[in-house]
Structure 1
Amino acid sequence: MDVLVRQATWEADGVLSLVLVHPEGGELPAWSSGAHLDLHLGDRVRQYSLCGDPADRGRYRIAVLHAAGSRGGSAHVHEKVRPGQTVRIDGPRNHFTLEPSPRYLFVAGGIGITPILPMVRQVAAEGRGWRLVYGGRSRRSMAFLQEVAGYGDRVEVVPQDERGLLDLDALLGTPAADTLVYCCGPEPLLAAVEARCAAWPPGSLRLERFAAKPQDFGPDAPFEVVCQRSDVTARVEPGTSIVDALENVDVWVPSACREGICGTCETRVIDGTPDHRDSLLSDDERAAGKVMLPCVSRALTPRLVLDV
């Protein structure tokens, strides 16, 4: 759908927030804490977490970091998107859902604060136990500091130039069976949190990635994909994604990031064993083998049957 850019605000050095509204003043589709939008930016589609209030159906808010290594998405937002323009969105979608728990530990790094903000608002309103530890390069680079300051001593702000890196050993060194850990930020932070949570009870950690997790796979082997609903079979060669192979036989699977991080292409597996190469599905979802992300994943069996 098309939405109108109502407002653009500098939230920190290099961080621009956008308020998006319905062009005709109507309600926007509902969303829940942890959801993101697909934003169409010229010939690119990028994912940005919703960081406003899910109860406010009149507007969406996202925040975009002008990243030095941008592939063009953040530069487009910062240089070309202005109030009064319309932009195309898909979603909202949510693969970072806030699950019920007696207690929560939120760990945010830099722009990773964006999906955490609605979660903090929700658990605070529900009276649950929670704590937020928010790190960044400096206070000037950390968005929404005034918003999180309103929660008092439940929030710990850790600017690196003042206090160094987050003390993850102190935060995560003792597993807590009654606590879910939600973390979003740059890959080094996610990898460090993931390593320390390996000793926690299974399912304690939830991660949101802005880029694909570095992974090392062996050589690709060819395999067949049977599209049950389309009654088409395609051969997927080494170096070719399932999505591309299906497009070559006129079967279209919705996709956006092509990196296995947004979930747009999530597809039900009817038969065969996927070779999961995404950075999104949980360990339980991978083990079950009922869904896969065909933009990056392949097959461990000579044949996959998909619900497309």
Structure 2
Amino acid sequence: MTTHTMVSGGRELRSHIESLGSEAVELTVAARHEEAAGIISLTLRQADGRDLPAWRPGGHIDIATPAGLRQYSLCGDPSRADEWMVAVLDEPDGRGGSRWIHEHAFESSNLWASSPRDTFRFSPAESALLIAGGIGITPILPIAEDLAKNGARLRMLYTAREAGAHAFSGRCRALGGSELWASGSRGRIPLRQELEAAAPGMAIYCCGPDSLVDEATELANELGIGDRLRVERFSADVEAVRAGDSAFSVTMRRSGKDIVVPADVTLLERLGEEGAFVVSSCHAGICGSCETPLLSGRAEHRDQVLTDEEKAVGDCIFPCVSRALPGEHLVLDI
């Protein structure tokens, strides 16, 4: 008989497990490995032995920690229905979630997570340029492996401060066209040169520190290829409530409630006050967990999940940061 150990976390952990709602998945740590200095990988299986929900390259899950829900990209093999893999960077100066996982998640211990969510919007391509920095390799690597498996031409640049600090270096080297870049000895990767050399129609993916993602975004827009760039961020400089914001009205279609969201309160906070359960995690518009169907009304989309085209369609909203445009009344499917 196999026994599993619940990791410690007390009341705070239990409350965040409960916040996952009906999509909570109980997981067992099947294996733990050190992939690079400060980075561990966890192989996770469903505690009851059943197959796990399917996921696509670029997808991520929320893991409950005493510090809150934290997002981790799935970095294993999507064809494996029996296991997921995540990699966790130890961040002593972070918000506490990753530090707690490093200290408590060992083989046979249990974790609770959400079903997979995909904000990277990976799609097949004949060629691709993939740019990763640090722990940003985690969503990039499954994308690269899927593309390579289907015959795409790849150019992948993975930058870390030092040689030997690259996680999953063996898997990276197995991909044709990949280069492990040590910025400490070589300086910053030549993003302009790489983007200028991108062939017409080449898909471009980037994930890593804000400085890397910001530079890639600015250069891609300058070169007129911003529509081909897809990025994922681990943090965001977003003001959920700004000076000059105004109150707005909302109808909660399912409950029939009409509410007013004050100027200094987020839509997510106001929904919570009314007892409406919305899964949320980052509170910065980057993780996608609080996506809520928008039935009518125009929103001011402050998230970094939706593309410009998706924002124009306007059929959903991320209430942790987004609001109604001035004078608009929103109707939510909640």
Shorter-chain TM-score: what band? over 0.9
What amino acid is the match of 2:93? G
The two structures have a TM-score, normalised by structure 2, of 0.88
For residues 180-226 of structure 1, the C-alpha deviation after alignment (integer angstroms, 9 at most, x for no partner) is: 11000000000000001103345201001111245695521111111
1:176 Cα deviation from its structure 2 partner:
3.6
> Quick check: 2:159–2:189 contact (8 Å CA) kept in 1?
yes
What amino acid is the match of 1:285? E
Question: What is the aligned partner in structure 2 of residue 4 from structure 1?
Answer: 28
Is 2:259 the counterpart of 1:234?
yes
Tell me which of 86, 105, 128 is aligned to 1:104: 128
1:238 Cα deviation from its structure 2 partner:
2.0
The within-5 A match list for 1:260-271 is 260-271=285-296
The within-5 A match list for 1:1-308 is 1-152=25-176, 154-174=177-197, 176-198=199-221, 199-201=223-225, 203-214=227-238, 218-302=243-327, 303-308=329-334
CA distance in 2, matches of 1:148, 1:269: 40
> Quick check: 1:272–1:301 contact (8 Å CA) kept in 2?
no
Any stretches of 5+ residues in structure 1 without a counterpart?
none
How many pairs align?
A: 307
CA distance in 1, matches of 2:89, 2:326: 41
1:234 Cα deviation from its structure 2 partner:
1.6
What amino acid is the match of 2:173? A
1:120 Cα deviation from its structure 2 partner:
1.1
Structure 1 vs Structure 2 CA RMSD: 1.6
The two structures have a TM-score, normalised by structure 1, of 0.95
For residues 78-131 of structure 1, the C-alpha deviation after alignment (integer angstroms, 9 at most, x for no partner) is: 112221111101011111121132211000000000001111111111001111
> Quick check: 1:213–1:279 contact (8 Å CA) kept in 2?
no
For residues 30-60 of structure 1, the C-alpha deviation after alignment (integer angstroms, 9 at most, x for no partner) is: 1110000110112510000000000111111
What amino acid is the match of 1:171? E
> Quick check: 2:303–2:322 contact (8 Å CA) kept in 1?
yes
> Quick check: 2:55–2:78 contact (8 Å CA) kept in 1?
yes
What amino acid is the match of 2:207? C
> Quick check: 2:239–2:321 contact (8 Å CA) kept in 1?
no
**Worse overlay, 246-255 or 49-58:** 246-255
1:281 Cα deviation from its structure 2 partner:
1.1
For residues 144-181 of structure 1, the C-alpha deviation after alignment (integer angstroms, 9 at most, x for no partner) is: 112111124x0011111221111011111356431111
CA distance in 2, matches of 1:109, 1:100: 22
> Quick check: 2:280–2:290 contact (8 Å CA) kept in 1?
yes
What amino acid is the match of 1:227? M
> Quick check: 1:273–1:301 contact (8 Å CA) kept in 2?
no
Any stretches of 5+ residues in structure 2 without a counterpart?
1-24
> Quick check: 2:129–2:203 contact (8 Å CA) kept in 1?
yes
For residues 203-255 of structure 1, the C-alpha deviation after alignment (integer angstroms, 9 at most, x for no partner) is: 20100111124569552111111111221112111221111101111222222
